[in-house]
Amino acid sequence: MKTLMDLDVVRFVIRRRLEGGLLPHGRMTKVQDTPGGGQMCDACGANITTDQIAMVGTTLEGGRRIRHFHALCFRIWDNERLLLDRRSA
């Protein structure tokens, strides 16, 4: 389980990737949860291991790309993208 400090670091990394255009601001379509299979998490950069849940979905930004997230990273990304959009509105 990630500590609070780890979560702050993950939140910071995700926020920076959103601000830098490395993560989409729009929502993903056809999101499903699946067991991890060693994919790299688009949000934090760590591998999603077989004992973890991966959230997989498609984004329209950047040309219909499939994204993989740890379940927790997905929730943080979804929250941060909405906060960022509210701040810039």
State pLDDT tens for residues 30-85.
899 999 999 999 999 999 999 999 999 998 876 788 999 999 999 999 999 999 87
Query: From CA 62, how far away is CA 75, in angstroms rounded?
Result: 21
Give the number of domains in the chain: 1
State pLDDT tens for residues 3-20.
556 889 999 999 999 999
Task: Select from 68, 28, 29, 61 the least CA-distant residue to 45.
Answer: 68
Q: Which helix (H) or strand (E) holds 70?
A: strand 65-70
pTM of the model: 0.87
Q: Which helix (H) or strand (E) holds 55?
A: strand 53-59
Query: From CA 55, how far away is CA 73, in angstroms rounded?
Result: 9
Q: In which band, very low, low, confident or very high, does the pLDDT at 87 lie, cut at 50, 70 and 90? A: confident
Q: Which domain holds residue 53?
A: 4-88
Interstrand relation of 53-59 and 65-70 (parallel, antiparallel or unpaired): antiparallel
